[in-house]
Amino acid sequence: MTSQTDTSAATDAAIAYLREHDAEHLAQLDEFLRIESVSADPARNDDVRRAAHWIVDELTSLGIEKATIHETSGHPIVTAEWVHAGGDAPTVLVYCHYDVQPADPLDEWIRPPFDPRHEDERVYARGAGDDKGQLFMHLKAVEAWMKTADGLPLNLRFFFEGDEEVGSEPVEQFITDHADLLRADVCVVSDGDTFDDDGTPAIGYGLRGIGYWEVKVQGPRQDVHSGQYGGGIDNPANVLVRMLASLVDGDGRFTVPGFYDKVRDLTDEEHAAYAALPFDEASWADETGVPAAMEGERDHPLLERLSARPTFDINGIWGGYSGEGSKTIIPAWAAAKISTRLVPDQDFREIEQSVKAHLESIAPPTVRVEVKTIHGGAPVVTPLDHPGVAPAVRALEAGFGKAPLFQRSGGSIPVVAALDAHLGLKTLMVGFANPTGNFHAPNEWMSMRNLRDGTVSLVHLWAELGAMRASDLSTD
């Protein structure tokens, strides 16, 4: 540990380095974003691997050690470490993911998704916010320290995965098999967003879990004439629509038995905290282009429903004729991808089973219904009194010039639950994507302001945490 003054001077030097290399770093980010690391598309497996190699090369060139590509049942996992800060210094595990969502519908992108565009002080590209942009910020914060100081002010371990967008299937096994590579006093995850697009940072203290299924309703062996068979053959699209519609009742609640049994009610304090958040529902709805926000569950205002209540969404539906004009058929089959976001203390494995069982139970005898579980992940909440929270607050305030707000995020990061379950490792969620930045959608973007202020915040974060003793940070 160095003295307060030394640290401050070192931090300033690291930040100056970032400022000097800004253009060069942006160009390098473009290079990273050009790699089409779409984990859901088997045709892009080599691109995903290329992204992993890109990271390993970067880490190695910075002097980070043991940068390694690990084979998994899915895409590679990258780990690396720099652990020369001394025995008393804390060790932090940094997690991000380098895979991205599929880019379709392609025709809604103004420029191709893997051809980054700089406009209006934003970087547009698939992965700009979720999550390659944030992973890149970590690389640059580390670079700033490594190039300007005598190493990092604390020990860092890195854990970058390539399956986050397809459910993080391999991470649980990896965590149990390679606990030694991930050992730390706390984990910092950057895969979320700031509170708003006006430079208010956020610390995430909760994530929703997820369950994701594909349902296929098979009727006749092949499409049949709707005049000849209509009224006699139960139409698989009619059946699917009926089944899916029955999953939500008139109060906006999911109807699968037992679904809400383990939902932890918000405390009065939490209700009050949500109510106190600055939020303009009309402008929020307007940003997305919808005429009005949904009604949803009674007794839960919109902001609560967005992160602290479970959801049910049809993510895709398809079957029958969708071409020009008309085709008078009863389609042979219809299918849908559906998912629920889960909240503490819902058990995603129980829910995986109960949703599948429920769908099978409501299938009429006139069709064959197949339900496939695609992936699941547990919800998680981090206590706000964790010893890492105060340093993170100071770091974000230093980087953005505004105090962070605390928020539960509506999304899911399966690794966070797995690190807690297997290593007892708590996570600080410090995310830098823009909340309206179109992640999982066409024209994804991140503001250059968040890129810059976020990277500076990370420089501060390592200084802040580096000023603590390991024993003060760990909650083991």
* Contact string (CB under 8 A) for a second copy, positions 16-45, x = contact: -----------------------xxxx---
In the complex, least distance from residue 317 CB atom to a second copy, rounded to whole angstroms: 5
Sketch the per residue contact string, 52 through 91, with a second copy: x for CB under 8 A, - otherwise: ----------------------------------------
Q: Which of residues 180-199 bind a second copy (CB under 8 A)?
A: 193
Q: Over 171-205, what HEC string results?
A: HHHHHHHCHHHHCCCEEEECCCECCCCCCCCEEEE
DSSP string, 446-460: EEHHHHHHHHHHHHH
Least Å distance, CB 134 to a second copy, is 15
126: which residues sit within 8 A by CB, 6+ positions away? 33, 36, 38, 100, 101, 103, 113, 114, 444
Nearer to a second copy, 161 or 165 (CB): 165
Our CB check for a second copy shows the closer of 94 and 335 to be 335
Q: Per rule CB under 8 A, is residue 238 in the interface with a second copy?
A: yes
Return d(Cα 399, Cα 449) in angstroms, integer.
10
- Candidates 5, 73, 267, 288; binder of a second copy (CB under 8 A) is 288
The closest of 260, 195, 94 to 400, measured between CA atoms, is: 195
Cis peptide before 365 (omega within 30 of 0): no
Task: Tell me: does residue 318 bind a second copy (CB under 8 A).
Answer: yes
> Does residue 200 bind a second copy (CB under 8 A)?
no
Radius of gyration (Cα) for the chain, nearest Å? 24
Closest by Cα among 232, 314, 235, 303 to 271: 303
How many residues sit in the footprint of a second copy (CB under 8 A)? 107
Binding mask 114-133 for a second copy (x = CB under 8 A): ----------------x---
Contacts of 243 (CB under 8 A, 6+ apart): 215, 217, 359, 362, 363, 369
Residue 255 interacts with a second copy (CB under 8 A)? no
Give the residue among 77, 27, 24, 73 at the shortest CA–CA distance from 53.
77
**106: contact with a second copy by CB under 8 A:** no
Residue 443 has what DSSP assignment? Answer: T
| Candidate residues 63, 112, 199, 220; the one interacting with a second copy per rule CB under 8 A | 220
Least CB distance to a second copy at residue 165 (A) = 8
Q: How far apart are CA 199 and CA 448, in angstroms?
A: 11
Whichever of 24 and 249 has its CB closer to a second copy, that residue is 249
Distances (CA, A) of 146 to 84, 105, 159, 181, 349: 12, 41, 19, 21, 43
Which residues in the 438-467 window bind a second copy by CB under 8 A? 438-443
Q: Which is nearer to a second copy, 3 or 222 (CB)?
A: 222
Q: Which of 87, 278, 323, 383 binds a second copy (CB under 8 A)?
A: 323
| Residue 436 in tokens | 């309206």
Residues with Cβ < 8 Å from 82, sequence gap 6 or more? 63, 64, 65, 142, 146, 151, 152, 155, 156
Q: Which of 52, 156, 335, 380 binds a second copy (CB under 8 A)?
A: 335
Q: Which segment (16-24, 148-156, 256-264, 437-445) binds a second copy by CB under 8 A?
A: 437-445
Residues 151, 85: contact at Cβ < 8 Å?
A: yes
Residue 216 interacts with a second copy (CB under 8 A)?
no
DSSP-derived 3-state class of residue 354: helix
Interacting residue with a second copy among 254, 260, 284, 406 (CB under 8 A):
284
Binding residues for a second copy restricted to 359-398, rule: CB under 8 A? 364-368, 374-375
Query: Which residue among 60, 315, 471, 475 contacts a second copy (CB under 8 A)?
Result: 315
CB of 437 to a second copy, least distance (A): 9
Tell me whether residue 199 or residue 296 sits nearer to a second copy (CB atom): 296
Closest CA to 416 of 204, 157, 264, 260: 204
Residue 3 contacts a second copy per CB under 8 A: no
Out of 290, 357, 384, 403, name the contact with a second copy by CB under 8 A.
Answer: 290
Return the SS3 of 224. strand
276 binds a second copy (CB under 8 A): no
233, 266, 393, 405: which one contacts a second copy (CB under 8 A)? 233
